[in-house]
Amino acid sequence: MTQQNTSHQNPRPKNYLGSTLLSIGIFSTATAAGVLILLSAPFSFSIGYRISAIWCWLVLWMSKVFCGLSYEVEGLEHIDKDQAVIVLSNHQSAWETLAVRHILPPQVVLLKRSLVWLPIWGWALGTLKSIAINRKSQTTALRTLLEKGTAYLNEGLWVIVFPEGTRTAPGEVRKFSIGGAMLAQKSGFPVIPVAHNAGNFWPRYSFLKYPGIIKVKIGPVIESKGRKAGEINAEAESWIAQAIKEM
């Protein structure tokens, strides 16, 4: 059964206060972190990445302090820090884009190119080996993902893909695009599916955040060698859809 957050129906003053404090905290610290990442860019990717990971942890901490929003993770035993993988995750809010950087090993993320044009933080994202694609050209976007994704996997970095392409409503799973699975087929690196219900508490396109515990499930490794992208994609999508139903 999909977990619902009934507080959405009747937000309290503390929801407005907490969400306001969180927004102020996010924007102020993002600016500082972005500047530090940009300053470190000429010297070391690892330093910039570490700054970004600390900032993501800070946002999760502020979410708990200001909004009463925490999280729990199931399936950490499936993580092998010495094995680079492609993560396919459902996408419900901005929360998971921050949380995966704190929960999972060093990584790069597939994102739309316009994000790296944003002043300071977007520029900082561009220095962190993000795979920025132009969604208007699917052929070029896929080529970029395959080339850069394979190179980063060979460096030992995880590749994070949200195959739904956009944020969905809680409990909903849209049809997965094939890009992440195609990267798995072409590169031979395995896939790990990740499911969560962040949208129940950090809704898409909403200023308000709600107290509760976000559930994150990390699935078992899906091997890709000798398998077609469609088969890999279907297995990941099925596992994520079932995991969401059980939350």
3-state SS of 193-247 is EEEECHHHCCCCCCCCCCCEEEEEEECCCECCCCCCHHHHHHHHHHHHHHHHHCC
pLDDT single digits (tens) 207-244: 999 999 999 999 999 999 999 999 999 999 999 999 99
Q: Which domains does the chain have, with CATH numbers?
A: 8-245 (3.40.1130)
**What single-letter DSSP state applies at residue 76?**
G
Checking if the pLDDT of 14 tops 80, the result is yes
- For the chain, give the percent of residues with pLDDT over 90: 89
Q: Which amino acid is located at 151 in the chain?
A: A
Instruction: Give the count of alpha carbons within 13 A of 132, CB side only.
Output: 15
pTM of the model: 0.92
Note the pLDDT of residue 3. 45
